[in-house]
Structure 1
């Protein structure tokens, strides 16, 4: 083969390679554009929701002052004698949330410790999906289970109203347990084994090593899981709508019926209030406040996870 033919073959090969690289570059740009469009849809949807919520909330606050909304202690926007104090709804929300976290924190953290430190790998491979399966149960099922089973059971021991904060909070706690447990488990498993071995070398027991070494090292992830669990509980709807009732009041008595912010929003969104009316706008005022609360909780969770994150070589 002559040197001229060799040069022509080399030229053709280089040309085909350049064309192939160019087509691959175009394909990658198309894929990147599609992925960017998908991400942009998510971002625009979020901004659209925020815009609508705060637009209607602004119309509400043109008729109801901030002082009346945040300082009044009665919430009766649907009655003839109207009051727009949001504190009864906040009280109901955080009362059920406190009960839920009193259940979710010990259950979730205990399950995370067991699956990480005590369970055999085969057992952990079975139990972890089983625990996380609790988060896949529809919340309406939790609500009816609380109303039809938990409340009658507890009324044999505690004098409860038919609709009460205790039953709703207990079932919310069970529902949130996978959130706390799964994130805490990831945080505990991220602790290097060298720390555990160093603790054992000092002669302490396994339980002491867990509470004195492992958990403090995983504290940022555990705290973040708890805050995310609180955020989930604050935003829960169907369980509290069915089991907690719709009586807005300021109380710490878990045996009484209360109304949460999400329960009120579900009540108004049923269609009884005409669009554009003041009653309808209360839905967005409460929704805006709920959005601010959950956003603050998520920011705190992110800050805690980064502020107290342990880094190991």
Structure 2
């Protein structure tokens, strides 16, 4: 996702720690990295990281709390940054586990991939990840990139599809994250697949309050949001159809260093993935972004209501 792949508001209440949702990738981990080692039979501790948006921090909390409940020491490094930043951290061993999204991660590891099928993207991702890293079971829960306009803008320009932007883009200002400006699931794809160019681009944030306010105030007419964000429904925003499929499928999936993928760790994380739903994510993210609950408290509540065994 552009979260690849995405980026939203950091959670002020997330407790813990250290290190501050696609370009090319695929480079191997260094010879001295533990990621070159085989999967261990058991691990005693694991460091869980997250991107700098609330849903990633929520997922990292769920992973960490579920592992801690099984007696594994968990260290947390939330709010690391965008995909390029947290990928560097997992490659160098600063973190051992991060939440990821299938299509966005695939675009990072294989910039030439054109896979648009949900299962196909997952299968391709398993093959594309850097040696020393692995993905575990994908969840049925998804959080897709979506490109949105207000209803007023949709009505003004008769917009239903991204293809409808071609004749009117020159009159519109787009805005969002720095990644949305340059990635395939963004302005790059809009230009290459739909022939769309905009009058101006305002650098804001990835689906966060800056982009949302600018869109609602008509300072920009188009931005990238994520399908689990309640603002889409609450504000009546219009999600433009994507017939050329520049927006990839994005199932939630744990990305882990092989040297920390013991059977007990994999079992716990796969159980989380099996239980999690898109409706869950939508509700939980709203509790963080709108109701201002902390990610750790929301994760704890979800786990109490969704026992893994």
* TM-score range relative to shorter protein: under 0.3
Using the size of structure 1 for normalisation, the TM-score is 0.23
Computing the radius of gyration from Cα coordinates, the structure with the larger value is 1
Using the size of structure 2 for normalisation, the TM-score is 0.23
More helix by share: 1
Identify which of structures 1 and 2 has the higher relative contact order when contacts are C-alpha pairs closer than 8 Å and 6+ apart.
2
More strand by share: 2
